[in-house]
Structure formats: C-alpha cells, structure tokens
C-alpha cells in the first residue's frame, strides 16, 4: 500500500534546493511504497519563500517555522537553516512527533547535539542527517570493499576538503549566503562545514577516532558584517588540520581550508591497507581508484574503476552502464534510503546519534587547537 510522507522544508538556500530536487526526483528513479509529497516550505521572507514554493512545486508555504510544526498535515520536517537554529527546530519538531531530516553538521556543538538526540529518541521519531557524500556510488563501493575485508589491516586514512572562496578581504561575514563565516550562526568555520564531511565518511569507513591533535588558523582577522555594516573580529577557523589515532590502530591525517587557491570543493580521501588501497576525489566523483597487492605483479597497478555499472551501488537505478551521475544524486540516494528505511522500519544512517559522533570529533579538534594538545574523544 502506498504511504505518502508530507514534507515541510525549512530554509531555501543551497541545501533547500538540493533537498527539494531530491524529493521531486526520487520516486521517478527509486520504487518504494513510501512517497514524499512537497507539502510546505518555510522561511521568514514571504516573497522569496513564495517564489521558492512555486519553483519547486510545494503546495503551500509558511513564514514561521513554529506554524509549520503545528500543522497536522506535515509528517517530516527538513531543517536547512543555518546551524544555530538546528537544535531549537529539531527539538520542537520531535516534540510535535515529526520525523526529522537535518542538514549537517548536526548542531553547533556536542551539548546541543546530545539534547537533540535525547529529543528524537524520547519521541521515537525517525531521523537522519544529510552527510550526503556517503551516498556517492564510488564512496559506497569503497565501504563495500572495506567491509568485505579486501584492504586487510588499515594503516592510514587521509582526507582533504579544500576550497578557495574566502580569500578576498573584501568578502563580508554573516547574513544571507555568508552565515557560514559567522561563528554565531555556524558554530565553527571549516571544521563544522567541511571537515565534518570528512569525519563522517571516515567514521563510516574506518570506525571510531580515539584522539586528535589539531591546528586551526584564521587568516583574515576582521571582516565587515553584512547585517550591521560594521567591521568585526572573525571568530571562525579558516583552515584546520588534524592528526588522529583511529580505534582500529590506523593513523589519520585531515586537512580543510577555504584558502587553497585553485580548489573549489576538492574533497579527496585515501585509505591504505595491508592488501589494498583506495583513493577517491570529489572532482571525479564517479571514479574509485583501487590498488590490489594480490594482483599478478607484472600488471599490478592502480585501477581506475568507472562506477557506473548496474552491479555497483545505486547505479541500477540510473541510466545505462558507462553513463555517470553527479552531486545532486547523492541527495536523491539519501531520500531513497530514508523512504526505504521507513518502509522497512529501520534507522537511516547517519542518524542523529551517528552524527553526534562526528560532532564529538569536531569539538575535540577545536579544543585541541585551542589547547595545543592531544584531546581524547
């Protein structure tokens, strides 16, 4: 029997668009008895949210998220707001008995994240956090290969997330589109925004992190705040690197920055095991590089696997072998998995509780950079 899930989406920025696109496309490509309905979207600016609703086909809109939560015809709340609103909305949504899909990072810090986990668990509502890169088919394939034991003992995990969009001193901080540069709205800089992705994938692929040693830098110390027009101190981290020990004994190295001139969104990861290694690069996201030491020595080398075949993760839902998909599909996969998890009555990872683990590493990284010391998780 078909069951409709009425979505109420809060926020209409970049992530509001990726999620809305995913809700629209998922039923066309993934068969499931649970279907999303674009019931309502919500933001304070009426003119903007009205045109967002028209563009994406939402049946209605609200200008106050509390009103959205009061509505009986909303089943699931999708939180695409700046990070400083995640906690309040998520807890209220849980208390109203709504399912919750929350943009990453889960919260501003661990304390907030813990309250959010307690709220969804008390209410017993399905919940998930949009760490979308897990659902790039090549990354999901990496997970499969690791779980099959092909890499053997893992020695090293390396990940980077490099951007260059904040190098200009003229760029303001805060307000629409630039809230990621304002610690009051974002919680942190690249640590919560970019490294959080790398950490989520790492915990998923390589297990827990035991301790971290980090450094952060804020290269531009003052910027005009968009809302006040005043020059204010910049309190986010512009760059952050850390090393860590994983619980499985492997060593980790992570780097993220918005000051890597020439790199727009270069997320790369590499894992070196006893028997095999894996490498992946967001700029070439449909490829997985794989080196298997068990190959016959004369032809041994890095394989470049084009992850587009029907026996590779998610790809049986798309075109024909050889034809690739892209960034927006990772969100479609998350919606498809979420709907299927409802049908199966199972959790859809990363749940709030899973994402809290990423939050713990982020907080430890920031503390380590402040204290100039190793911090245990």
CB-wise, 233 or 265, nearer to ligand SOE? 265
- How far does CA 61 lie from the centroid of its chain? 26
Q: How far is it, in rounded angstroms, from Cα 16 to Cα 331?
A: 11
Q: Judged by CB, which is closer to ligand SOE: 82, or 273?
A: 82
Residue number, 195 or 205, with CB nearest to ligand SOE: 195
**CB atoms inside a 10 Å sphere around CB 370:** 11
What is the sign of the dihedral through the CA atoms of 302, 307, 310 and 311? positive
Coil, helix or strand at residue 86: helix
CB neighbour class for 248 (10 Å; exposed up to 12, middle 13-18, buried from 19) = middle
**Considering the complex, what minimum distance in angstroms separates the CB of residue 123 from ligand SOE?**
27
At closest approach, how far in Å is the CB of 161 from ligand SOE?
8
Nearer Cβ to ligand SOE (163/250) = 163
DSSP track, 131-155:
-GGGGSHHHHHHHHHHHTTTT-SEE
Closest CA to 339 of 5, 102, 38, 1: 5
Interaction pattern, residues 136-175, with ligand SOE; x per rule: CB under 6 A: ---------------------------x------------
DSSP at 191: I
Considering the complex, what minimum distance in angstroms separates the CB of residue 193 from ligand SOE?
5
User: How big is the site for ligand SOE, counted in residues (CB under 6 A)?
Assistant: 4
| Least distance CB 187 / ligand SOE (angstroms) | 12
Q: CB neighbours (10 Å) of residue 318? A: 16
Q: How far is the CB of 42 from ligand SOE (least distance, A)?
A: 20
What is the pattern of x (binds ligand SOE, CB under 6 A) and - over residues 195-234? --x-------------------------------------
Q: Which is nearer to ligand SOE, 8 or 82 (CB)?
A: 82
Asked if residues 193 and 104 have their Cβ atoms less than 8 Å apart, the reply is no
Q: Does residue 182 touch ligand SOE according to CB under 6 A?
A: no
The answer to whether 254 and 159 are in contact (CB under 8 A) is: yes
Please work out, in degrees rounded to the nearest 5, the angle formed at the alpha carbon of residue 351 by the alpha carbons of 114 and 277: 115
| 265 belongs to the binding site for ligand SOE (CB under 6 A) | yes
Binding pattern to ligand SOE, positions 299-338, x when CB under 6 A?
----------------------------------------
Name every residue whose Cβ is closer than 8 Å to that of residue 118 and which is 6 or more positions away in sequence.
none
**What's the rounded Cα separation, in Å, for the pair 271 and 84?**
33
Task: Determine which residue in the list 75, 78, 193, 200 makes contact with ligand SOE, applying CB under 6 A.
Answer: 193
Nearer to ligand SOE, 216 or 277 (CB): 216
Instruction: Work out whether 176 is an interface residue with ligand SOE (CB under 6 A).
Output: no
Q: How far is the CB of 287 from ligand SOE (least distance, A)?
A: 19
Which residue of the chain is nearest ligand SOE when measured via CB?
A: 193
Min dist CB 144 to ligand SOE, Å, is 23
Interface with ligand SOE (CB under 6 A):
163, 193, 197, 265
């Amino acid at each position: 029997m078909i069951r409709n899930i009425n979505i109420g989406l809060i926020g209409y920025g970049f992530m509001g668009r990726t999620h809305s696109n995913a809700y629209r496309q998922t039923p066309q490509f993934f068969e499931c008895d649970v279907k999303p309905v674009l019931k309502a979207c919500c933001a304070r600016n009426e003119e903007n949210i009205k045109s967002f609703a028209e563009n994406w086909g939402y049946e209605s809109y609200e200008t106050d998220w509390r009103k959205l939560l009061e509505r009986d015809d909303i089943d699931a709340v999708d939180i695409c707001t700046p990070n400083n609103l995640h906690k309040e909305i998520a807890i209220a949504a849980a208390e109203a008995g709504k399912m919750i899909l929350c943009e990453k990072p889960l919260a501003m810090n661990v304390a907030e994240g813990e309250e959010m986990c307690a709220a969804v668990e008390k209410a017993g509502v399905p919940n998930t956090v949009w760490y979308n890169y897990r659902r790039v088919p090549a990354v999901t394939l990496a997970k499969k290969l690791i779980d099959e034991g092909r890499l053997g003992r893992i020695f090293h995990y390396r990940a980077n997330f490099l951007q260059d969009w904040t190098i200009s001193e003229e760029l303001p901080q805060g307000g629409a589109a630039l809230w990621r540069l304002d610690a009051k709205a974002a919680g942190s800089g690249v640590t919560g925004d970019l490294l959080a992705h790398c950490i989520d994938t790492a915990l998923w692929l390589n297990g827990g992190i035991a301790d971290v040693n980090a450094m952060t830098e804020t290269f531009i110390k003052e910027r005009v705040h968009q809302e006040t027009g005043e020059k204010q101190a910049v309190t986010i981290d512009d760059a952050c690197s850390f090393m860590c020990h994983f619980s499985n004994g492997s060593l980790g190295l992570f780097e993220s920055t918005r000051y890597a001139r020439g790199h727009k969104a270069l997320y790369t990861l590499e894992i070196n095991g006893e028997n095999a290694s894996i490498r992946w690069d967001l700029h070439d996201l449909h490829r997985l590089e794989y080196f298997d030491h068990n190959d016959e020595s004369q032809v041994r080398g890095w394989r470049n696997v084009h992850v587009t075949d029907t026996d590779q993760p998610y790809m049986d839902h798309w075109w024909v072998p050889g034809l690739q998909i892209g960034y927006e599909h990772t969100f479609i996969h998350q919606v498809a998995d979420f709907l299927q998890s409802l049908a199966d009555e199972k959790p859809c990872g990363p749940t709030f509780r899973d994402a809290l683990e990423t939050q713990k590493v982020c907080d430890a990284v920031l503390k380590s950079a402040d204290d100039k010391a190793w911090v245990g998780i």
